[in-house]
Every structure is written in C-alpha cells, then in structure tokens.
Structure 1
Amino acid sequence: MPAPIHSAQSAPGNPLAAAVWDADRLHRYARSGPRYTSYPTALSFDPSFTADDFSAALQRSNQTQRPLSLYVHIPFCRNVCFYCACNKIATKNTALAASYLAGLDKEMALTAQNLDTRRPVEQLHWGGGTPTFLTLDQMSELVDKLDAHFGLSDDPERDYAIEIDPREADVLTLRHLQSLGFNRLSLGVQDLDPQVQQAINRPQPRALTETLMDEAHRLGFRSLNLDLIYGLPRQTADSFAQTLRQIIELNPARLSVFNYAHLPKRFPPQRRILDAELPSRDEKLAMLRTTIEMLTAAGYVHIGMDHFARPDDSLAIAQRRGTLQRNFQGYSSHAQCDLIGLGVSAISRLDDSYAQNHSQLGHYQAAIDQGQLATLRGIRLCRDDLIRRDAIERLMCDMQLDLSTLSEHWQIDARGYFQSTLSALAQAQHDGLIDIREHRLEVTPIGRLLIRHLAMAFDARLPSEASHHYSNIV
C-alpha cells in the first residue's frame, strides 16, 4: 500500500479548515439544488427528443473526432442497501444477466452504426447496481463485445474503471478485471461502524475492503476510490471520525464522501430506515466538518463538493491544469470526451445533446428488441445552454471563473451576458462565499462547500420549486 501522504494542506493555517465553520451561514445556504453532473439537468430532458434525434446527434459528433467515454449500467444487486437511490434490480437470479448482456450487445451495434469507431475510447466505466453481479465469464463477454463494437484501448493513460462491492469480489475477481484492461477501482464502503451497517442492511467488515485494496495495489491498479456516506442512521460525528481514521490508514487515492439524501417517498428501500435514527442537521454538519479537517490534515486535496484526492492523483492534477470535467459519474480527469451511455437508464452526453435510456428494464429491452435505440428523453442544447454549461462546469471544476476567457471563447461580453447572474451572486459575495473582481470570480474556502448554490445562479432552467426535485446542498 502506498505510503501516507503529506502536503501543505495539512498545515495548521489551512484556510479551508480555518474559515469554513460558520454553521449559521452554512445552514442558511443549505437549501436543495442540482449536483450539475449535466447542464441542463435531467429535469429539462424532453420526451420529444427521440431515438432518431439521438442517432443524428451521434452522427454530428463524428465531425469533432472527440475521444469516446463509455458508461455501462449493470442494474442488478443481490441485496438491497436501504440508503440506495440508484436504478437497480434486486435479485439473486444471475440468469437475468444473460438476456441483459444480449440486449447490451444489440444496443452497442445500433449505437456503433452512427459512430466513427476509429475514435479512441479513453474512458470506460461500469456502474450500477453492482457490476460484480456478473460472473467472470460474463465480464469477459461484455469486454469482448465492447471491443468488437468500439475498439478498446491499451493506452497506459486510459481510464477504465469499475464499481466494486467488496462483499461480492475477491482476489480472483481483481486479477480477472486487470486482465480485461481495467486500471481503476471504486469500492463501496459507506461506513465501517457495524451498527450503521446493520441499520442500512450492508454488513461489511473492514477486512473485506482492506484485503481487496492490498491486492489491487500489488496488481498495480492505478487508482482506488472509496465511497463513504455521512448522514446515515446511527451515525454520529465521533463514530464517523472513527471510520475516517480507518479509511485514512487504508490510504486510497480518491474518496467520495456523499451527503445522504433521505427521500423515502421517491426511493422505497429508504422506508426501512427509521427517521428517529437519522442524525440531526447539526450532527451532519459536524460530520462534514470532521471529514474535511481530517482528510485535508492527512494530505488530501478537496477537489470540490464530495470529492477528495491525493495530490498525485489524476483528479488533482487535472484540477491544477484546468482540465477537470463533470459528468454523470462526478468529477472526471478526461475532459473533451463524448460520453456514450449503454444500458437501462444510462445517459449520453455529446457535444450539443443529452439522451437518456428507458429506466424500466422491460421498456429498455422492448425498444432494443425492435431494433431501436432505447432513448426515453433528451435535449439538444441551444447556444445559451452551451455557454451556461461552460460557465457552470468551469466554476465547479476550477473553483473560479475567468469571464475574459469565456468572452473570448464564445465571442460575447460575458460580464454583460451574465449581468443578472452577477447581481444574484451579490449576497453570496457579501457573505464571503465568492470573490468577484472585474472579470474574475474566485470561490472562497467556505464557498467550496456551497458550490452548488453558486452554480445555481447561472442556471436559466432552474425550477421555481427546486426543493421538490433535488437533495440538500450540505
């Protein structure tokens, strides 16, 4: 396992740790808002955008010759975690995967008909659900199909990642994934406290995660990410700090520390969680404070929102270079890729369009069986959408925005174009969330925690009642 990291961020004068803990200010701004994995957000996707529109968008994308990023959604889970809000199918019937893989093969063929497949596949991500629901042979079959239709890469700089449930993987699984070309792993942990694990129906001893991480390091996987969640039932600031101490000892390259959104009306498994066992708003804020203080003291860079990375990880490097991007998997180090989503509920992002597949497995398979792309809805972006997407993405990735660069790129007067936005940010500037000077916007340390709120000022499509649609910012 790599040696522990140290950086200037661990110094006592770290401005983030010193400035961020104004609880009243955080609570005042902690309303609901989008995560901006896309702009416009999925709420703006329209059913009038059809499979034919998506085909046309794929064909237009060939003109740019941008590299490809492939996302494959594997919706199956053997067990339901009560907190989960993902599109999933709980089953122990592994035979279901065979027909699903056949559908994926057909979808790949339909998609590839519209693509210049000489475009390199720089990124590959398998998510879910639980991708390790598949057998080793099924994983091989899926990689073979992806390679046959799109041509996978052996470039050492490729970013081929898969989400792993440590309860359903072992050393043989990791060796097989490495042989298939994966070089990055994301392991779901959520919390190491047995009482919390019991409350969310996810028993997972530390030894499972640690064994897999040790083997992944020995095999030479380039980057390991661990997912944690704060705000779960039975959690306290002290118990979560104990989990963080153990995680820091494991020393992953990246960490995603998500804020649990309790929305039982939308996600039925969450109804198994007792409201009385959920931490209070103040306790959750204490967990967030503990997270940032402990991780930055351990040398991690706070990339933004819920992402942390070691300074030598590709995410931190991309942020320093100004090439970080956001997509439906969060922050990404591979900018300027066209993202092709495959499988039920998957979303594609092309240069000027988004398209989302059917979220119901039966509808998805019916469309594919009829020889059609499984597009449920989407949107083609207008020029204003493209300009605002650029501004939001740069603000969320760089924690700053240069209006002069925006003006030059889009041939506009950006300060005039975003006059109403700058007016809307006046209170946030007064409250110390952002510093606006002439043509430059700089997010402050406390503003990093509320970056979703700052981005909302640029959103021309935000619903009037955002709280009905989105999770809380912190």
Structure 2
Amino acid sequence: MKHPDLTRIDWQPELIKRYDLAGPRYTSYPTAPQFHSGFTEQDYRQALSESNASGAPLSLYFHIPFCAKICFYCGCNKIATKDTRKCEPYLAHLIQEMDMLAAHIDTQRSVEQLHWGGGTPTFLSDEQMRRLMDATRERFNLRDDDQGDYSIELDPREVGDTTLPLLRELGFNRVSIGVQDLDLEVQQAINRVQPREMSQRVLDESRALGFRSINFDLIYGLPHQDLARFSDTLEQVIEMGPDRLSVFNYAHLPSRFKPQRRINEADLPSADEKLKILEHSIGRLVKAGYVYIGMDHFAKPDDSLSLAQREGRLHRNFQGYTTHSECDLLAIGASSIGQVGPTYIQNHHDAEAYQASIGNQQFATIRGLKLTQDDIIRRAAINQLICHFELDGDTFGQQHDIAFNDYFADELIRLQQHEQDGLLERQGNRLVVTPAGRLLIRSICMVFDAYLNQSQQTQKYSRII
C-alpha cells in the first residue's frame, strides 16, 4: 500500500491560488467559534472530576501576558509594562487557580508536558519564575527525570545572564525563540530590534545548558520584506541551525489588533510576493534537511516531532503540533484554552475579569464546548489528515465503530474535486494526500468540518496559504 511521501512538496501555483481561501487551522475541532457561553464553570468542574477516571497524564499551559515592549505585528493577549511588580497580583491568581484545579484533579497524574506562553514569560523576575514553578511542583506531579516536554517562549531581548541557567534548573528542557526577521529595517518597522548576535547568544547558551529542542519563530509578510530580504534571513537561520522552525504568515488586522495600526500598510509585501517567499522558504528548508511537518512547521529529522510523524504519533492541539495526544490539557491564566476529556474550556481574555473570577473561587470560564460523538469522530479524522496526510477508512471505521464510507458518504463525494485536481488519491478505502495536497491540507480537512459545511462562515479564519 502506497503511503504519502513526506519528503516531497509539490508547489502548484494555479491550485494554490484557486484553493487559497479562508479556513480553520484546526488546533481544535470543533473550532473556537463553536465554543459558547452556555458552557459554565460548573461544567468545567464536572469535566475535571470525570477526567480522573481515565488516568490520563496532564499537560499544563500557563499564559503570562506581560511584555516590556509591544511588537507592532502582535495579535496576542498581552499587557505592556516595564514594572515586574505589576505581575504580582496575576501570579497570585495563577497559584490560586492551580489550587482550585488541584481540588478536582487527581494530582498524582503525571505532568508530561508543560508550557509557559505569552506575552513574554521571561519578563518575570528570576524570583517570580522560581516561585511559580515551585508552586506548580507543590500542587502537581511534575517529572524530575528531565524526560517531560517542558517548554517556554523566549524573547532574546528579555533574557539576562541568569535567565537560561535558572530555566534549566527549574526543569525546562525546550525553548522557543521569537526571531521573526533578521533584517534591521523590518525589525525597526515592527518595533522589535533584535540583532542576530542576540538570538545567536540565546541559541548557543541553550545548547550548552542542555536544552534538547530549540525552536525559532519566523514571520513572513511583515513591512519591507521581499523575497531577497527574507531569503537572506533564512540563510542565516539555516546557518544557526535550530531544531525546529515555525514560519508564520502575518495577518494584518488593524481593526482587531490595535498595535498593528502602527504598521504602514503601504510597506507590506503584496500577496504574490508573500507566496514567492513561502514557496522559496519551504523549498530551501527542505533542501537544507528540515522535514516539512505541515502547516507552518519544520523540524530536523531526529527531532521528536519528525519521529512522532514517522511513527504515527503526531497530534495537534491549541499549541500546534505536539507529541502528547494522550494528555488532558489544563490551561491556566487569562485567555488560555484547555481540553479535558471531551470538553474545551476557555478563560476570560481580560486579566482583570480573570482575576475577579478566581478571587471569588470561581473558574474564569467564559465559554467552552462539550463534544458530541460526531464531533469526536470528525476530530479524529481531521487530526489524522493534518498530522499524517492519510486516512485509512477501514482502520478508522473499526476504531470508531462506524462504516466509514457510509458515515462520510457526502464528504467522499465532495473530495472528488480534490482528487481530480491531484491533491488527494483514493487507494481503496485509504485517502492519501499528495505532495501537492500537503500545502492545502486545511482545504481537505474543511470537507470533514460539519459546522463549516452548515454555516460556511469562513470570514472568521485566516487564509489557507
């Protein structure tokens, strides 16, 4: 049986233009627009208690929304301040939320994955970071053998001499470094001046300290970028050699994200130029030896993401691609989104509203969703396609106790156009995404999205490419 060739990417300009519509990124299914306010904090409490029966390991996500400086491209939920003392009330509420979680969760369940995101988590002082991690260890069963995936997002401008040694001491073993672009004019236009030497120092020190996976974030579509400039950044990054790369498309939405109003729209590259940048970036990174995991992600062949994809263990959640499909994800802090059993839960976006709820001993749940059996089946199909670029209908049907061809009869008819366009092959009851289809995997997944097919409300999403 032929399996998808994960080493090849086939760039078909006409197909890319035809299929480059708006659609979900499928960090969850159903996607966030389906979450609703009818899901209450009491529903969350029940989901937490019920999850203990599974004995599943845990993943902890902490949202730390503080930044010393605002990057103009940013669409994250953050608070700009230079005073770390302003973090104190927020940290106290993070710890209080952990206490509330610990009252419902079997705290002996192993924490296999932990992530601090933001904002800029290293904005916290050394003492504050130590206090937060110590409080976490007191309440949850963190691994002490350095075999969990404990990661943190870094802004090199906020990494002092003691930061990385402290993080390693606290148990972090993976870092994600925000680079975005190495061109000075681009950096000035986005209010993030960060010379290569600064990122290089963080990379070198992380390696020396034994961090086992280092990710770089890059963004294409920023002001003053063009193919030549971004190619130069890419060559420098390849020379630096991070273990993973995320190459994100900048979405300019100044009506939604106030900092983006500081960007001069006339300085942004055209849609055609962005496609040239993306085509070159994918081809160049694959030539340099990186594996195209999917969507925006690349990894070296020996990285755990690449290994998980080859072994059929790759998963996708709110943090992107991950190797921990078995974990219940507890999300802590303002705006964070968790997944506990067959439920999704999101906290208040506003830090003050979040703190008010937690201060009243109520979870800060603003909305959520309990999945139906159909949701669970479709989520599994989408996850298999977006992670592994194939779906065996016979095996899938047995796993979910369905007749695959009957259950997805309408979807298989709609996929015929993808087959005719060379994005997908039918091999008996197996769907195999072609090298051309890998770039447009979101379009294939959209066929299985029952909510999208009902509403066709794609304006809530970014473009596929």
TM-score computed with the length of structure 1 as normaliser: 0.95
The equivalences for 1:288-299 within 5 A come to 288-299=278-289
Please give the alpha-carbon distance, in whole angstroms, between the structure 2 residues aligned to 1:413 and 1:471. 33
Structure 2 residue runs without a partner (length 5+): none
Give the RMSD, CA atoms, in angstroms: 1.3
**Equivalent AA in structure 2 for residue 80 of structure 1:** I
CA–CA distance in structure 2, aligned partners of residues 293 and 216 of structure 1: 28
Cα deviation code 1:202-245 (max 9, x no counterpart) = 10000000011111111111000000011111100111110000
Matches within 5 A, 1:311-460: 311-460=301-450
Q: Which residue of structure 2 aligns with residue 254 of structure 1?
A: 244
Please say if 1:464 is aligned against 2:455.
yes
Q: Residue 45 of structure 1 contacts residue 377 of structure 1 at CA under 8 Å; is this kept in 2?
A: yes
Offset at residue 465 of structure 1 (A): 4.6
Mean Cα deviation higher: 446-455 or 126-135: 446-455
User: What amino acid is aligned across from residue 138 of structure 1 in structure 2?
Assistant: Q
Give, in angstroms, the shift of residue 15 of structure 1: 3.5
Structure 1 residues not aligned, in runs of 5+:
1-8
The C-alpha deviation readout for 1:85-143, integer Å capped at 9, x for no partner, is 11111122221211101000110011111101110000000000110110011000000
The number of equivalent residue pairs is 460
**What SS class does the counterpart of residue 355 from structure 1 fall into?**
strand
What is the CA–CA distance in structure 1 between the aligned matches of 2:426 and 2:186, rounded to whole Å?
42
Alignment partner, residue 77 of structure 1: 67
Residue 24 of structure 1 deviates from its aligned partner by: 1.9
1:128 to 108, 118, 122: 118
Q: How does 1:162-201 map to 2 (within 5 A)?
A: 162-201=152-191
User: How many angstroms apart in 2 are the aligned matches of 1:436 and 1:156?
Assistant: 43
Q: Which residue in the other structure is 2:464 paired with? A: 473
Counterpart secondary structure, 2:329: strand
Deviates more, 1:274-283 or 1:176-185: 274-283
| Larger CA deviation: 267-276 vs 64-73 | 267-276
Secondary structure of the residue aligned to 2:292 is strand
Equivalent residue, structure 1, for 2:147: 157
How far the C-alpha of 1:432 sits from its partner, in A, is 1.1
- Is the Cα–Cα contact under 8 Å of residues 146 and 171 in structure 2 kept in the other structure? no
Shift of 1:466: 3.4
SS of 2:455's partner is: coil
Are 2:70 and 1:49 equivalent residues in the alignment? no
Superposed displacement of residue 468, structure 1: 2.1
Aligned to 1:266: 256
Partner SS for 2:83: coil
The residue that corresponds to 2:87 in the other structure is: 97
Change in 2 beyond 3 A, CA 1:171/1:321: farther
| C-alpha distance after superposition, 1:309-347 (max 9, x if no partner) | 000000000001111111111000122111000000011
**What amino acid does structure 1 have at the position aligned with 2:102?**
A
Question: Would you say the 8 A contact 1:106–1:368 is kept in 2?
Answer: yes
Most deviating of 164-173 and 308-317 = 164-173
Tell me the percent identity. Answer: 54
* C-alpha separation in 1, matches of 2:434 and 2:120: 37
Distance 1:468 1:265 in 2: 14
What is the CA-CA distance between 1:156 and the residue it aligns to?
3.3
Cα drift, residue 167 of structure 1? 0.6
CA distance in 2, matches of 1:143, 1:151: 12
Counterpart-to-counterpart distance in 2, 1:246 and 1:15: 24
Please state how far the C-alpha of 1:396 moved relative to its aligned partner.
Answer: 0.5
Aligned 8 A contact 1:171 1:215 in 2: no
TM-score for both structures, normalised by structure 2: 0.97
State the partner residue of 1:3.
none
> 1:373 is paired with a residue of what secondary structure?
coil
Counterpart code for 2:413 = S
